[in-house]
Copies of this chain bind each other. A is one copy, B any other.
Amino acid sequence: MLGAIEAGGTKFVCAVSENGRDIKERVSIPTTTPAETMQQVYDFFRSFSIEAVGIGSFGPIDINTKNDTYGYITTTPKTAWQNFNILGDVQKHLGVPAGFTTDVNAAALGEWKHGAGAGKTSCLYMTVGTGIGVGAVINNHILEGLNHPEAGHIIVRRHPEDDFKGTCPYHSDCLEGLASGPAVEKRWGEKGSELTARPEVWELESYYLAQAMMNYILILTPERIIIGGGVSKQPSLLAKVHEKTQQLLQGYVQDSMITQHIDQYITTPGLYDDAGITGGFVLAARTLEDTPN
């Protein structure tokens, strides 16, 4: 049996699977302090005989195995979790091989294996919600290098009529600062879910998201792009993103997936809210394979 932990800033979801895909049992635990939350995580897994676990964690996290702080949650604004060695803690308490990556990389892995990216060699997963997170699978592997992607913080060109200063504490008006859920709420005075009937909101939102699509396509050239998260549930948004991405690219990338089938190319999740936990199982299975007997 395989275990998965989706370590989120609001809640931890833990689950087990017999076949590495279907969820046999799951639990949701509030994210309070490491001591309190992790105890409940371990209590859940105690009922099962798991062989490995895959962790997709909120960040920033250190995924560089060469660093002393590998496996840590690092500079999060959640002070109780700063510099918490989540990977080490899980390994110690569960005593099984553990894979470790970001929440969005886990979601990308889940969508790539069993969701909207199935059958592709690469896919990019973007979530637009409280923040803007991006994970990716390239050549069938999670994209990690110097660090994990932080592609929610890229520079985009401001709309000439948008004078909102942005919400990102680091970069003010990076993509996340201009287009995340809190940015939408602060700019328009209401939550995105209350703004469905105002087309100007989604015109502007798609203006920024389409720039992200263009840059992701030109830099990473993924075979599929999946957009999830709360903001992405706006009914008119995705079609506007499709249209504006094509306009920006100006036919430069001549692949029919972009010129003709962009509605299939940039798409919604196949696994919805289960992308991360499913990716956790995939990661657990890979970690088990890579562990010497």
Contact = CB atoms under 8 A, between A and B. Distances in A.
Contact of A221 (B143, B158, B211): B143
Interface stretch (A34-42, A144-152, A273-281): A144-152
Contact of A60 (B158, B214, B254): B254
Contacts of A250: 170-171
A151 B253 contact: no
B156 A221 contact: no
Interface stretch (A134-142, A179-187, A189-197): A134-142
Nearest to A147: B221
A141 B139 contact: yes
Contacts of A141: 139
A218 B252 contact: no
A121 interface: yes
A216 interface: yes
A64 B255 contact: yes
Given A138-B138, A141-B139, A148 B221 contact: yes
A76 to B, nearest CB: 12
A113 interface: no
Contacts of A154: 214-215, 218-219
A153 B249 CA distance: 9
A218 B146 contact: no
Nearest to A123: B145
A39 B211 CA distance: 44
**Closest 10 pairs between A and B when the two form their complex, measured CB to CB:** A145-B221, A122-B145, A151-B219, A170-B252, A170-B250, A154-B215, A150-B218, A219-B219, A147-B221, A151-B218
Given A60-B254, A144-B221, A145-B220, 13 more contacts: A121-B145, A146-B221, A146-B223, A147-B255, A148-B221, A150-B253, A153-B252, A154-B214, A155-B156, A155-B215, A170-B252, A215-B215, A215-B219
10 contacts: A121-B145, A144-B221, A145-B220, A145-B222, A146-B222, A146-B258, A150-B221, A154-B219, A155-B157, A219-B220
